[in-house]
Amino acid sequence: MDYQSKERPILFNGEMVRAILDGRKTQTRRVVKPQPPEGRVWVLEQDHRPPFSVCMDDQLEKFPGPYEWKTWHCPYGVPGDRLWVREAIRRKPAVTGRWSGATYLADLTPVAGKGPMGSYCGRALVNWKWKRDVLPSIHMPRWASRIMLEITDVRVERVQDISEDNAKAEGVDCMTWINHPGAEPSYRVFFWILWDSINAKRGLGWDVNPWVWVVEFQAR
């Protein structure tokens, strides 16, 4: 039976949306949930549809002894699947008592198109779950998405295993630590800071070195 590709939503903040639009971001790293216990090894089975990761006992040389295993399916899909981007939307100022439309918060590009029942986006504003004048990305409807990404590769690694080239592919800037002005500028340093700003408060910061899904993609 042929595999049917699927579409799933994925959230990005404004900075990452701009990086995608500029063609600078072709990868994203997301925390594996739940994290596997220590002392295990990952084996990524790419020959299956969908591919899955197997967490097995690291004493495989004792085979045929007993070992434990568990599968983790990548929640973002497999190569060939597509991700439609959810991003924040800002409501335009009211004109004569009516909302005149909305723009994508990342670059203030107007939201165009038609929503359910053929309603123009300006008419759909009333029903959206606004936080003040901004619609959080989690509430963005499918029809308002302007970015489609096709997955080209999926793998599992520790977050600290990211290389300089892959950090650049994450769409971040190049920088150095303020207290080390003589050090070479690094994309990896900026990714470290970005990662902690999102995940440290959840106990999954850089120093914890969690397992992550690495999803590579290209914009369509």
User: Kind of pairing, strands 89-91 and 134-135?
Assistant: antiparallel
For residue 86, what pLDDT is reported?
Answer: 98
**Bridge partners, 110 (sequence order):** 103
Q: Give the pLDDT of residue 35.
A: 85
Please measure the distance between the N-terminal and C-terminal CA atoms of the chain and give it in whole angstroms: 26
pLDDT the model gives residue 98? 60
What pLDDT was estimated at residue 63? 44
Question: Can you give the pTM of this predicted structure?
Answer: 0.83
Secondary structure, 3-state, 173-197 = CCECCCCCCCCCCEHHHHHHHHHHH
What is the rounded distance in angstroms from the CA atom of residue 170 to the CA atom of residue 191? Answer: 8
pLDDT of residue 107: 95
Q: Which CATH number is 7-84+147-219's, of 3.40.50.1110, 2.40.128.20, 3.30.499.10, 2.30.130.30?
A: 2.30.130.30
| Sign for the pseudo-dihedral over CA of 165, 81, 22, 214 | negative
User: Domain residue spans in the chain?
Assistant: 7-84+147-219, 88-144
* Rg for the chain, CA atoms, rounded: 21
Distance, in Å, from the CA atom of 98 to the CA atom of 40, rounded to the nearest integer, reads 58
Taking only the tens place, the pLDDT of each residue in 139-174 is 999 988 999 999 999 988 899 999 999 999 999 988
Residue 213: how many CB atoms within 10 A of its CB?
19
Which parts of the chain sit beneath pLDDT 70? 1-3, 39-70, 93-100, 113-124, 176-183
What lies within 8 Å, CB to CB, of 75 at 6+ separation is 8, 33, 213
Residue type, 192: W
CB 124, CB 102: distance < 8 Å: no
